[in-house]
Structure 1
């Protein structure tokens, strides 16, 4: 029996063009880090190196630890002391990247109704940001972390999408079997990887991210409005 819905964030609950967001995010971060002596190019190279480390994480360390190991490895161990500055950035200046968000109906009523019906909810966003950065983006979507029983971030995750072990870790945190969950997202590689464990999936096509040109025909799919309609039709399980 279905007991939980797992949601991706960017391009799923939050309407945005990912390329435009990354560009705006890097611009804001470079400006905030400049007073600490970071050059824009070296900062972005180190960010991508840390991101790559999180993507390859084998579970022995958190994504946060993997990121800072490689970030500091690229720029010097003394840069570990800058982590609080970056945390403040995500709580403040990062909000300027909100301009990349597209207007769209907020999903809060549907999520609140799912909770009333007895479903558990997880925000299964790729855990490459600290909690403050994820909560800020939830705010852009008109949502908040209190709606979810579990939120993945780089502090609590040991894997990243599309590694199926990322989804196994989410299931374990929520005490779920694969057949008791459904993953909803807009990336046929990162999000539909949940199907490898036997998790049900739904592909949201409005802001489809399919750089590899994967055949999406095997996946249940539809636009954002169809997703909301599907959620409204789920039966009460209390």
Structure 2
């Protein structure tokens, strides 16, 4: 395995949104919410209530205790809001993610250095996984990777709301990921852009690197305590 001689990790975990896939999360979310409404409004949904329900669904997934898939937690909350009879409308949203969601690419950027980093790190013999916050369906995650010219096959594990029972910033999410990969936290480097959701992995003993190009730092924490910078800086620091 190549890389800096003092690297203790053998697995690199990448975040997706705002890390490999450049985006302003607020612009992206409200942009694609607008696209969702083209399907949802004709089905009888009032836009603001639906947006609030989606955000609440994200919040309850973040609090998932591991007893149910995030998908189940989201749709149970949806049914609590709209009634059990509306649970069947999941198909409307599944169809949206499988088709029209592709248009949300216009709300994202592209950083060739990010894609190059994934490929180069794999070539150097490191294992890689996509530790994206599992609040999206599998199909929506496949599409976001497709925008980058990447696929599920490029990673040993990709986390989605269909295969996870925890979400960021819950440390149990990271424990679950490392358990599935058969590694210890101290065997991993977590690369992400969100101070609150990604850098918490260091509490488990992971190495971390903060991508600052589209950084999220809701609590205005001192980022000097983390190795940080661009993807070029990541490669120079560790590889």
Residue 236 of structure 1 aligns with which residue?
A: none
Answer yes or no: is 1:195 the counterpart of 2:202. Answer: yes
TM-superposed CA distance for 1:230, in Å, is: 4.2
Residue 12 of structure 1 aligns with which residue?
A: 19
Answer whether contact 2:23 2:108 (CA < 8 A) is retained. yes
Q: Which runs of 5+ in 1 are unaligned?
A: 234-238
RMSD: 1.5
Question: 2:149 pairs with 121, 127, 142, which one?
Answer: 142
Residues matched between the structures, number: 232
Hey, what's the Cα distance between the residues in 2 that align with 1:191 and 1:91?
A: 28
Answer yes or no: is 1:104 the counterpart of 2:111. Answer: yes
Hey, what's the Cα distance between the residues in 1 that align with 2:157 and 2:182?
A: 11
Answer yes or no: is 1:46 the counterpart of 2:62. Answer: no
**Greater displacement, 17-26 / 115-124:** 115-124
Hey, what's the Cα distance between the residues in 2 that align with 1:103 and 1:118?
A: 25
Residue 62 of structure 2 aligns with which residue?
A: 55
1:83-112 Cα deviation digits (max 9, x unpaired): 222112112111121111124225334323
In the superposition, the TM-score normalised over structure 2's length comes to 0.92
The 5 A counterparts of 1:128-207 are: 128-207=135-214
Hey, what's the Cα distance between the residues in 2 that align with 1:184 and 1:111?
A: 11
Answer whether contact 2:11 2:129 (CA < 8 A) is retained. yes
Q: Which runs of 5+ in 2 are unaligned?
A: 1-7
In the superposition, the TM-score normalised over structure 1's length comes to 0.92
Matched position secondary structure for 1:68: helix
